[in-house]
Structure 1
Amino acid sequence: MRVLKSIFRFVLILSLIGLLVGVGATVGLYQYFAPQLPDVETLRDIKFQTPLTVLSADGKLIAEFGEKKRTPIIYNQIPEQFVQALQAAEDSRFFEHFGIDLIGLSRAVFQLVSTGRIQSGGSTITMQVAKNFFLSRERTFERKFSEILLAIQIEQSLSKEEIFELYANKIYLGHRSYGIQAAANVYYGKNIDELSLAQLAMIAGLPKAPSTFNPITNPERATERRDWILGRMHSLSFINEQELQTALMAPVTASYHTTEIELYAPYIAEMVRSELYAQHGEDLYTDGFTVYTTLDSKMQSAANNAVRDGLINYVKRHGYRGPEKQHTIQDLSHDAITALLQNESTFAKLEPAIILEVNKDSATAQRKNGEIITLPWEGLSWAKPFKTVNYSGPMPKKADDAVQTGDLVRIFNTGEYWELSQIPRVQGTLISMTPQTGAIRSLVGGFSFTYNKFNRAIQAHRQPGSNLKPFIYAAAMENGFTPASIINDAPIVLQDKGLDGNWRPENSSNEFSGPTRLRVGLYKSRNLVSIRLLRSLGIDKGIEYLSRFGFDPEKLPANLSLALGSADVTPMELITGYAGLANGGYKISPYFIERINNQSGETIFTSNTAKVCSDCSANSEEEPGLKTNIAPRIMDERTNFLLYSIMQDVIRRGTGTRANVLNRSDLAGKTGTTNEQKDAWFTGFNNKLVTTTWVGYDQPLPMGRSEYGGSAALPIWIDFMKVALADTPESPLPQPAGIVQVRIDPNTGLRASPQQSNAIFEYFKAEEIPRQGMGGNSSNHGQSTEEIF
């Protein structure tokens, strides 16, 4: 007995010594590691690396920029069954332990002692948070001890719900998805709260090894992991037997889902990215900004369709250039033909296809997805062979005049049938803007951003041609001319230092009308009238006036060719100028970012560009300390109204009469065509919306004899405005005080006598009413045409 007592006392003393040594070692280790540990309080302000999100004004997704797919959510948004599934998979006693699971940790220590290496690690969710946010992934004792100490500190600083939320948003779950919400989107195309129990268990199985247990790349291993987690959930009484069996029988439905773009607006998306990158650099892709643009989704979709259809119609007017490639397919299987199409991209809904068989009045083709479709005669009959922009071959009489077996072609679904098509070589752009604010409502920078990323809306410097004339006419009317002023539309030979040799400008029709009222000169786009106006006004004064509207004076030619629009402008510069005509005569600046929210949803930027505010003072405030930024007036409001009235006639009876199909009386606009039809424009507006369209080759080339602003650009404008203005009331520019309407002689521009039968009404500034005529051919102000010019 005495011996046993001695042995017991010896063992007890050794145990106490061991305990003291252990405690001492632990204290020593803590004293060594604690000062090196990071401050866990920083977890309260953690910012997850999330992509830049670009939205339309009405919240439609336009683009995401950033490698990591992550959508942080709060704990209350996480389904309870997912919390339970993750407990079953990773840490069943999460809500009971103090950051360390002693049972799990003991198991890990035993494995280390028995095998000589770390195996399971015994990590809790809290310890994984510590590792994921603060530590490296090296498997060392030092890192493990730091992980334990950090886990204890985290549990003391944060609630269990906060810890779980951090873990659920941080973890990598494969296919570039970080966090459970992103994983639900990637694997199932749904939000986490829309998933079934089986799907939740599948995602809960990913943190252990995202590649090994991936349901897309390794569905068998993923199913084994899912079923094990479901069994654990049942054994932990999280689910009942029926729920278990139903989930175990569920098929694997995971597939790769990309972020669904809701609104196609890649040119604006790139403009946003470029502007913000200049401010934030690479942090832009991880700081989680959400950018609300000024785009209207309905208008943007209409713009996409209008530009695409307009350019496709140009192709159809000029003929078919033939297949993109020719394949020998006689001995190829369906799958082999599908393989030939896999490297061919779709551009602006023009799909690649291979012609399989040609009949008398139809052809069959195989799409990229393997579907076999028929091209009826309606979809082939347009395809006369292209020769030049001015000439084409005869219309096809049978299908094999257009296509041959093995042709790689483009097809387009019109909504009624499949049509043979072709990627246009000509390009186009459309910009639409709210003239009172400068907010861009839609923007298309070319036929297809995928095909060519050059943004013609802001990067292409082109000659506007007659699209610039309204500004010359406005300058003239602010310097003594009226809509009834008579200008001679007659041949002229000019010697100008800024021009090479003698210049003999002509009208596009090669005809001359003689003495012409200013109104008629603009709505019929008479070149000689514009030139004489600018010569009378003075080139310097003309350039100064144009610069008020945002045109760069350095890019405006200091010679009379300016009257014909020989300047270099971008479509954005042109529409900015036209906004001043559409809003009553105020200078605005275009913008496309309405506001920016940070990762927490707080607004960190709101646009405060100058806006038209005709009935408020400069000292008014929308919010305390925030002054209304009021656009300055740059044009007399009466001149503005007179010009608007004349530009309405461009649509009513001038070069833009096609727009009468819209059946609106509030629209005004101007066509524009440059020499040899290298550029075609139409810009039109009412008081609420201004839109410009341009068509041309990137390298200025003739588009064809019949391609004018009214035939190439105006149809695109009409197709867009038909949608953009649908169900909206007419919005003409209001008539300001000081404008009167007077009957005039259409031939002389003078006030008509009461009995004159051919008199017409004209608007004037009150102080510029013309004198009453005598029935002769005198011009306005009592001067003859020869005396004026």
Structure 2
Amino acid sequence: MPDMSRFGRSRLISLFFLALAAAGGGVMGFASIFLYLQPGLPAVDNLRDVRLQTPLRIYSADMQLIGEFGEKRRKPIAFEDTPPLFVQAILAAEDDGFYEHQGVSLKGLVRAAAELARTGSIQSGGSTLTMQVARNFFLSREQRFIRKFNEILLSLQIERELTKDEILELYINKIYLGNRAYGFQAASQVYYGKNIDQLTLAQWAMMAGLPKAPSAYNPIANPSRALQRRNWILRRMLDLGHIDKESYTLAITAPVTAKYHSRNLDISFPYIAEMARKEAVGLFGESAYTDGYRVITTVDARLQAAARDALQKGLLTYDKRHGYRGPEQRLDPAILHDSDKLIDALKSVPVLGEMVPAVVTEVEERSLKVQLDDRRVVTVEWENGLSQIRPYISEDARGPKINAAAEIFAPGDIVRLRHEVVEVETGSEEGYADVGDPFAANVDSIQVEPTTVTTERWILDQVPEAQGALVALNPSDGAIRALMGGFDFRQSHFNRVTQAARQPGSSFKPFIYAAALANGYTAASIINDAPIVFDDANLEDVWRPENDGGTFLGPTRLRKALYLSRNLVSIRLLRALGMRRAMDFVEGFGFDTSKMSRDLSVALGSQALTPLEIATGYAAFANGGFRVEPYLVNQVLDVNGSEVYTALPPTVCNMCPDETEMEPLDLQVIQAESVEVGETEEAMELEALSISPASGAALSLPRAQRIMSPQVAFIMDSILKDVIRKGTGKKALAMGRSDIGGKTGTTNGPRDAWFSGYSQHLAASAWVGFDSNTPIGRNEYGGSAALPIWIDFMSTALEGLEEKNMLQPENIVTVRIDPRTGRRARGGSGIFEIFEADTVPGGSSTRLGGNPDPQPAPADNSRVVNSTNEEALPEELF
């Protein structure tokens, strides 16, 4: 026995030293691995400054989210803003011992090793939340032992550097959760359309189940497996004491309510968002998509919505004038019996201009039964778009009205419907009492209150083939306030405001007339409106320009020639002015004259220009003669809200000393301590320039370049207002404003229809035409196709804004003239015209263009009007 006892003790000692050696070997092995891997590990300190990949977001000037770009949808949330019960759901699902371990769970690793030994493959990694953070931020997801060792080492470092709450915050914002959503706040928006703090317990548990396998447990793609995972998490929360039995029972009986929510925009303005995206990429490169920049544009959401509505309404109205082209597609009638294929066909057709696609399932004599993509079957009544159908033949011809729906439609046709909700009054204002009613014996009649019933109707419509563009600028600094590059961005991403160079036609004439006024002509100068033939080497053939309608007025004043848009006068004016002199002046409006042909057709707008270029030019007529540069991006903020870009546009400053060259406006020089913003015109301009007069000046802004004298700008303004008062833009009189001016434009064919105009609040240009440059119809003009769009938009844009007319500059006089000759009128006859003082008929000026009468004007027939004289110009002048 003693020998056996000694043998046992010796064996125990041996085993002890063997275990000690094994432990030492393990430690040495681990130490060796650490020494080998540690130099290649990233610094954990980087986690404190980590930039989560956050998408680029585009905002309107009034901070409405209008666009979002980036492969990874992310909305970071602070840990303290995360609902505590949701945190418990995450821990129950992923790591209930998170607050106890030091980054690594030995129990979890042993379990993973056992699974590996039992199955021969890696079933789970035994990862803690800290290990998942290490993997998501620094490592790949490949299942290799070396990566697992790195993960363990990093987790230990992370636990030493960060608090538990900081680690959880990184996890909550970094983890991938399917559908391009990174982080639980973004995923909450994707699956439920709400912030994480607005969800229910059942929804929190559903969200907490996503990290394990975002595709397998996706409640949209795989609702049954997601439901099982959700209920398992709820049971874990109950077992861990995070929720009570009642809450658990209520949550597991809740239905699966997740569905895909697209980008949660406040309002969608895709043309604007795309322009801003391109500019952001130009500023920041590809990091624009991931670094969380917020781009604040100059666009006003209310004005942009008005521009969208006006352009779409105008194109639909134009389209209806030219007939119904028939269904968009004709499906095989056999598909009508396969509901799933039918729905798939409808879902492949995008909604355009609020018009939804539908399939005709039954054609009755005076109605249609149609199915929508939500499987509803609705009826289109005869009076809701069918009774007025006249088939399209060409842009110049339509067929007769149809008498029955079957003349156009058949089952399987895909058509467009517009949904309207209307209120209809029922009942009458007066009813008679029942003679059998004893309470009504002495009553002749009783009043019956009418009732209002809300009903819906579906109206047949079609997507127009014609396209259009509309853009509006702030004349003071060129800020784009609204822009629509086409009928619908989903139909075409081509931005016709910036990319479609088209002939502006007569809407270009004001720039030539302004050049003439700047070179000695007057509004009363006489030019002959008569036939002319050119055999010009620069032209391909003999050119015989004509006026619209083929009529000629003979000798015509410049004012009248412009507001009536007389082509022959414009051509003769340009020829007399000289091409070089005219182009030098026109270049000041921002046009690239090097691309313009050097022939007289320029006077009729034969060169190609974009709507944005034309609108920018008209801004100079609105602001008193200054050139501005259009811009869209006003400010860019980084992910922390710090300003990283601010636009400093050349800005109009009428109060500044008159300079012909653009120079920086040093606001340090402008001191207005005694002036409160809003008290004077000067203070108002300081406010527009973002100057704080009380503090002196803190910025240096470029000032807009003057390209027209105040006098030329004032005279042009009065002529362009005549276009609306009694010229080709008369329809705009319906707006009831005296402070608007503009010009129509129609090109040969006609192929392009324009109206460009302004008030001092906004300058805007509207264009209508076909992308194919085919004719728009022989009875279509700028006044019929483009002007209604401009009116609709500007009526909304100017609503509530006071009329603001241009201040009369010094050195302006009015003189009575004979409207037939442009000469001074004798006695009290004639009409008033305005002139620069040294170009009054009979004055001493002999500059190019001359005047009708070189003799001095009688004192009783002229009077000087300057900026200090409040007397209004005579009505007959306009």
TM-score past 0.5 threshold: yes
Give how far 1:331 is off.
8.8
2:186 to 175, 182, 185: 182
Matched, 1:615 2:615: no
* Paired residue secondary structure (2:714): helix
**Alpha-carbon contact 2:714-2:809 (below 8 Å) kept:** yes
Give how far 1:667 is off.
0.6
**Alpha-carbon contact 2:744-2:787 (below 8 Å) kept:** yes
**Alpha-carbon contact 1:293-1:595 (below 8 Å) kept:** yes
Matched, 1:517 2:523: no
* Paired residue secondary structure (1:318): coil
Matched, 1:768 2:839: yes
Q: Give CA deviations for 1:207-241 in whole Å, capped at 9, x if unaligned.
A: 11112222222222222222222222223222233
Matched, 1:411 2:458: no
1:80 to 80, 84, 93: 84
Give how far 1:199 is off.
0.7
Give how far 1:8 is off.
4.2
Matched, 1:347 2:352: yes
Aligned-partner Cα distance in 2 for 1:373–1:334: 18
Structure 1 counterpart of 2:298: 294
Structure 2 counterpart of 1:250: 254
1:310 to 303, 314, 325: 314
Higher mean C-alpha displacement, 297-306 vs 2-11: 2-11
Question: Structure 1 residues 713 and 116, CA, compared in 2 at 3 Å: closer, same or farther?
Answer: closer
Q: How does 1:748-759 map to 2 (within 5 A)?
A: 748-756=821-829, 759=830
Matched, 1:542 2:575: no
Aligned-partner Cα distance in 2 for 1:500–1:145: 79
Question: Structure 1 residues 152 and 387, CA, compared in 2 at 3 Å: closer, same or farther?
Answer: same
Taking only aligned residues, the RMSD between alpha carbons, in angstroms, comes to 2.5
Q: Give CA deviations for 1:489-527 in whole Å, capped at 9, x if unaligned.
A: 222233433224443222112111122221111111111
TM-score between both structures, scaled by the size of structure 2: 0.84
Structure 1 counterpart of 2:810: 737
Structure 1 counterpart of 2:627: 587
Higher mean C-alpha displacement, 759-768 vs 273-282: 273-282
Question: Structure 1 residues 115 and 477, CA, compared in 2 at 3 Å: closer, same or farther?
Answer: closer
Aligned-partner Cα distance in 1 for 2:509–2:168: 66
**Alpha-carbon contact 2:841-2:854 (below 8 Å) kept:** no
Structure 1 counterpart of 2:67: 63
- The letter of the residue matching 2:838 is E
Higher mean C-alpha displacement, 155-164 vs 321-330: 321-330
Aligned-partner Cα distance in 2 for 1:89–1:338: 38
Give how far 1:399 is off.
3.6
* Paired residue secondary structure (2:460): strand
Higher mean C-alpha displacement, 278-287 vs 474-483: 278-287
Question: Structure 1 residues 170 and 328, CA, compared in 2 at 3 Å: closer, same or farther?
Answer: closer
Give how far 1:307 is off.
1.6
Please list every run of 5 or more consecutive structure 1 residues that lacks an aligned counterpart in the other structure.
773-778, 785-789
**Alpha-carbon contact 2:335-2:342 (below 8 Å) kept:** no
Q: Give CA deviations for 1:589-617 in whole Å, capped at 9, x if unaligned.
A: 11111222223332211112212223357
Give how far 1:440 is off.
1.2
Structure 1 counterpart of 2:103: 99
Q: How does 1:47-196 map to 2 (within 5 A)?
A: 47-108=51-112, 118-196=122-200
Question: Structure 1 residues 676 and 40, CA, compared in 2 at 3 Å: closer, same or farther?
Answer: same
Aligned-partner Cα distance in 2 for 1:534–1:206: 72
- The letter of the residue matching 2:183 is G
Q: Give CA deviations for 1:78-137 in whole Å, capped at 9, x if unaligned.
A: 111111111111122222332223443454455566777654433211111112222222
- The letter of the residue matching 1:365 is V
Question: Structure 1 residues 326 and 19, CA, compared in 2 at 3 Å: closer, same or farther?
Answer: closer
Q: Give CA deviations for 1:620-664 in whole Å, capped at 9, x if unaligned.
A: 155987411211111111111110111111111110011111111
Matched, 1:719 2:792: yes
Structure 2 counterpart of 1:234: 238
Question: Structure 1 residues 115 and 16, CA, compared in 2 at 3 Å: closer, same or farther?
Answer: farther
* Paired residue secondary structure (2:54): coil
Give how far 1:200 is off.
0.8
Higher mean C-alpha displacement, 8-17 vs 126-135: 8-17
Structure 2 counterpart of 1:775: none
Aligned-partner Cα distance in 2 for 1:109–1:505: 91
Question: Structure 1 residues 495 and 116, CA, compared in 2 at 3 Å: closer, same or farther?
Answer: closer
Give how far 1:329 is off.
3.6
Aligned-partner Cα distance in 1 for 2:161–2:37: 19
Higher mean C-alpha displacement, 397-406 vs 60-69: 397-406
2:326 to 318, 322, 325: 322
**Alpha-carbon contact 1:748-1:780 (below 8 Å) kept:** no
- The letter of the residue matching 2:471 is I
Structure 1 counterpart of 2:532: 492
Matched, 1:389 2:392: no
Matched, 1:568 2:608: yes
Q: Give CA deviations for 1:737-775 in whole Å, capped at 9, x if unaligned.
A: 22233333323333434432xx32322223333349xxx
Question: Structure 1 residues 408 and 231, CA, compared in 2 at 3 Å: closer, same or farther?
Answer: closer
Structure 1 counterpart of 2:228: 224
Aligned-partner Cα distance in 1 for 2:841–2:578: 24
* Paired residue secondary structure (2:104): coil
Aligned-partner Cα distance in 2 for 1:334–1:761: 76
Structure 2 counterpart of 1:689: 762
Give how far 1:547 is off.
0.8
Structure 1 counterpart of 2:469: 429
Aligned-partner Cα distance in 2 for 1:605–1:458: 23
Structure 1 counterpart of 2:450: none
Aligned-partner Cα distance in 2 for 1:696–1:110: 73
1:33 to 37, 41, 46: 37
Question: Structure 1 residues 108 and 297, CA, compared in 2 at 3 Å: closer, same or farther?
Answer: same
Give how far 1:39 is off.
1.0
Q: Give CA deviations for 1:232-289 in whole Å, capped at 9, x if unaligned.
A: 2223222233322222222211112111343332222222333344455544333332
Aligned-partner Cα distance in 1 for 2:334–2:17: 93
Q: Give CA deviations for 1:418-458 in whole Å, capped at 9, x if unaligned.
A: 33322322211111111111111121112232222222211
Aligned-partner Cα distance in 1 for 2:517–2:214: 72
Matched, 1:375 2:380: yes
Structure 2 counterpart of 1:198: 202
Give how far 1:402 is off.
4.5
Please list every run of 5 or more consecutive structure 2 residues that lacks an aligned counterpart in the other structure.
423-456, 658-664, 669-690, 844-849, 856-878
- The letter of the residue matching 2:646 is T
Aligned-partner Cα distance in 2 for 1:326–1:351: 16
1:467 to 507, 529, 549: 507
Aligned-partner Cα distance in 1 for 2:563–2:297: 36
Structure 2 counterpart of 1:531: 571
Question: Structure 1 residues 686 and 198, CA, compared in 2 at 3 Å: closer, same or farther?
Answer: same
- The letter of the residue matching 2:215 is S
**Alpha-carbon contact 2:526-2:852 (below 8 Å) kept:** no
**Alpha-carbon contact 2:666-2:699 (below 8 Å) kept:** no
Higher mean C-alpha displacement, 218-227 vs 475-484: 218-227
Aligned-partner Cα distance in 1 for 2:335–2:125: 59
**Alpha-carbon contact 1:383-1:402 (below 8 Å) kept:** no
Aligned-partner Cα distance in 1 for 2:531–2:618: 30
Q: Give CA deviations for 1:545-604 in whole Å, capped at 9, x if unaligned.
A: 111111111222212111111111111111111112211111111111122222333221
Question: Structure 1 residues 23 and 282, CA, compared in 2 at 3 Å: closer, same or farther?
Answer: same
**Alpha-carbon contact 1:464-1:673 (below 8 Å) kept:** yes
Structure 2 counterpart of 1:787: none
Aligned-partner Cα distance in 2 for 1:357–1:98: 70
2:719 to 621, 646, 651: 646
Question: Structure 1 residues 72 and 753, CA, compared in 2 at 3 Å: closer, same or farther?
Answer: same
